[in-house]
């Protein structure tokens, strides 16, 4: 990975990010193919290993085989390492290794680090990266320490490994679990009424998906909200709405048959987890189509930029809403929290939205036709893949090779980001400064 961070001059930051993720995925797939990665001692087919490695590095959580019962201790350790690298970001991990080795980080490397964590400027990027790494490790260890007594009481020494595994998986918004030893693909359904497990996992998911720059704002400015960046204010306010409104819906319309404590925890958990985490404490197949559709929308939105989460990002949604409101009110500019939004940001938001919706719908239709499955079920799967969530209605292990490849591509695009891929592909093109004649066109 240190070799990876020696950036050739002819390769730009976006290409490095994509090549870095692709390289780690391929290496992880080769490790998972080894006979001692599986409990059976047999070599795992390459496509199965590639799917699992992609899901881990892209912190998705969709799996073809139950993680607890199919993979050996070594295989589970490989998956956890891939989750950690994917959650923190390949470039961030490479930068950490470079810093630990005492080597100087060049300006080009700092620029790549800036793009990787969506920082606004290159200045202070090394210090910010160090803060991200320290905070990540501390929070993951705290989460594991809180859950360890419960898992230890139920599983003995193995419970300590399970506490660490689930803490890292939750913080990185991955959704991989080791609860298959009770029932295959059961996720956290056996803990639907346990407040410690529910609250700890939810907090890890929320903090991990909040965004590294928002962490820094909170650390620097504490409760002085007026000093926060506009982006942090947008993230915190939009995130609050996206957590509260679905929780209220789930409480009154989907989980009304559960005991009060389990109903309250389940409503909050199912509102948090579609934000690209992938755990579930209730059977999603028992939800109404309306409830499943709300989860699909939450999965597509995802978390915050520069975080462990995927999706089109809540800032994209906020910018589009602000633009729509400005249009309705006949205002010249869209604005949020007293700050004007630039035209380039609006263009990027519209492009990302169109890209995600197009890939999500097209892939869902193709899988539905190929597998002869209901369209809503397939759209749930494709939303989960491109949003790097990991929630499923149970069809993933039964999918054919074509559908698996589609999900692999969606998971990869969802993690590296659509604009990153476009900018990497079009890096050699020259900007055209000439303008064509303008003519009006009616829309709406």
DSSP string for residues in 310-332: -SS-HHHHHHHHHHHHHHHTT-S
Is residue 103 scored above 90 in pLDDT? Answer: no
From the CB of residue 432, how many other CB atoms can be counted at a distance below 10 Å? 7
Q: What is the pLDDT of residue 418?
A: 66
CA distances (Å), origin 47, targets 24, 51, 186, 401: 15, 6, 23, 8
Q: How confident is the model at residue 184 (pLDDT cuts 50, 70, 90)?
A: confident
Closest CA to 158 of 140, 192, 185, 181: 181
Angle between helices 343-371 and 289-301 (to 10 degrees): 130
Instruction: Say if residue 427's pLDDT is above 70.
Output: no
Mean pLDDT of 311-318: 91
Residue 340 β-bridge partners: 335
With pLDDT > 70 as the criterion, what percentage of the chain qualifies? 91
pLDDT of 431 higher than 70? no
Q: Is the pLDDT of residue 179 over 90?
A: yes
214, two tokens: 């928002």
Distance between CA atoms of residues 378 and 392, nearest Å: 9
Confidence of residue 284 (pLDDT cuts 50, 70, 90): very high
Looking at the predicted structure, is the pLDDT value of residue 4 above 60?
no
On average, the pLDDT of the chain sits at 88
- pLDDT for the residue 322: 95
State how far the Cα of 83 lies from the Cα of 395, in Å rounded to an integer. 23
pLDDT of residue 432: 60
pLDDT at 374 over 70: yes
Alpha-carbon span 67 to 243, nearest angstrom: 28
Cα 177 to Cα 26, 64, 206, 375: the distances in Å are 22, 13, 18, 27
Q: Indicate the SS3 state at residue 38.
A: strand
Residues 390-403 have a mean pLDDT of 93
Encode pLDDT of 233-271 as tens digits. 999 999 999 999 999 999 999 998 889 999 999 999 999
State the Cα angle at 252 between 380 and 143, rounded to 5°.
65
Per-residue burial over 417-427, b if 16 or more Cβ lie within 10 Å, else e, is bbebbebbeee
Q: What is the mean pLDDT of residues 109-115?
A: 72
**Which tokens is 68 given?**
């607890």
Structure tokens at 39: 């409990």
Predicted TM-score of the model (pTM):
0.90
pLDDT of residue 435: 77
Pair 92, 109: CB distance under 8 Å: no
- CB burial readout 373-408, b (16+ within 10 A) else e: beeebbbbbbbbbbbbbbbbbebbeebeeebbebbb
- What is the enclosing helix (H) or strand (E) of 339? strand 339-340
pLDDT score recorded for residue 8: 57
Q: Which of 7-16, 231-240, 256-265, 404-413 has the lowest mean pLDDT?
A: 7-16
- Tell me the C-alpha distance between 16 and 1, whole Å: 12
For residue 440, name the pLDDT band (cuts at 50, 70, 90): confident
The residues, ordered by sequence, that sit 6+ positions from 167 with a Cβ below 8 Å of its Cβ are: 140, 141, 143, 144, 147, 200, 204
Enumerate the H helices of 250-388 as residue ranges: 260-272, 289-301, 314-328, 343-371, 375-386
Q: How confident is the model over 406-413, as a mean pLDDT?
A: 94
């Amino acid at each position: 990975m240190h070799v990876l961070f020696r950036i050739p001059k002819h390769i730009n930051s976006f290409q490095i990010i994509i090549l870095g993720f692709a390289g780690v995925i391929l290496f992880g797939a080769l490790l998972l193919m080894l006979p001692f990665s599986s409990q059976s001692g047999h070599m795992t087919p390459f496509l199965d290993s590639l799917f699992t490695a992609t899901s881990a590095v892209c912190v998705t959580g969709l799996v073809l085989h139950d993680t607890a019962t199919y993979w050996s201790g070594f295989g589970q350790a490989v998956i956890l390492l891939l989750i950690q690298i994917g959650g923190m970001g390949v470039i961030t991990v490479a930068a950490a290794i470079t810093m630990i080795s005492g080597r100087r980080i060049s300006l080009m490397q700092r620029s790549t680090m800036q793009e990787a964590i969506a920082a606004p400027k290159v200045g202070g990027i090394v210090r910010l990266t160090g803060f991200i790494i320290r905070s990540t490790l501390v929070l993951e260890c705290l989460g594991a320490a809180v859950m360890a007594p419960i898992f230890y009481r139920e599983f003995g020494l193995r419970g300590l490994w399970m506490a660490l595994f689930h803490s890292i998986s939750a913080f990185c918004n991955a959704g991989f679990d080791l609860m298959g030893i009770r029932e295959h693909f059961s996720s956290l359904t056996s803990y639907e009424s346990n407040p410690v497990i529910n609250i700890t996992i939810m907090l890890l998911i929320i903090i991990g998906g909040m965004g590294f720059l928002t962490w820094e704002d909170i650390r620097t400015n504490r409760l002085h909200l007026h000093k926060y960046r506009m982006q942090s204010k947008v993230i915190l306010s939009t995130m609050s709405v996206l957590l509260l409104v679905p929780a209220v819906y789930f409480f009154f319309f989907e989980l009304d048959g559960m005991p009060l404590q389990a109903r309250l925890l389940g409503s909050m958990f199912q509102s948090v987890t579609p934000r690209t985490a992938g755990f579930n404490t209730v059977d999603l197949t028992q939800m109404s189509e309306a409830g499943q559709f709300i989860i699909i929308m939450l999965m597509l939105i995802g978390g915050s930029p520069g975080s462990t989460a995927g999706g089109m990002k809540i800032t994209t949604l906020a910018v589009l809403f602000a633009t729509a409101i400005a249009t309705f009110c006949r205002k010249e500019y869209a604005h949020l929290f007293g700050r004007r939004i630039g035209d380039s940001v609006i263009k990027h938001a519209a492009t990302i939205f169109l890209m995600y919706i197009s890939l999500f719908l097209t892939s869902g239709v193709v899988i539905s036709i190929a597998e002869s499955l209901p369209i809503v079920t397939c759209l749930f799967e494709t939303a989960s893949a491109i949003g790097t969530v990991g929630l499923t209605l149970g069809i993933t292990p039964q999918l054919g090779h074509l559908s698996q490849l589609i999900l692999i591509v969606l998971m990869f695009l969802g993690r590296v980001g659509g604009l990153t891929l476009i900018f990497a592909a079009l890096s050699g093109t020259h900007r055209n400064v000439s303008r064509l004649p303008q003519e009006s066109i009616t829309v709406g």
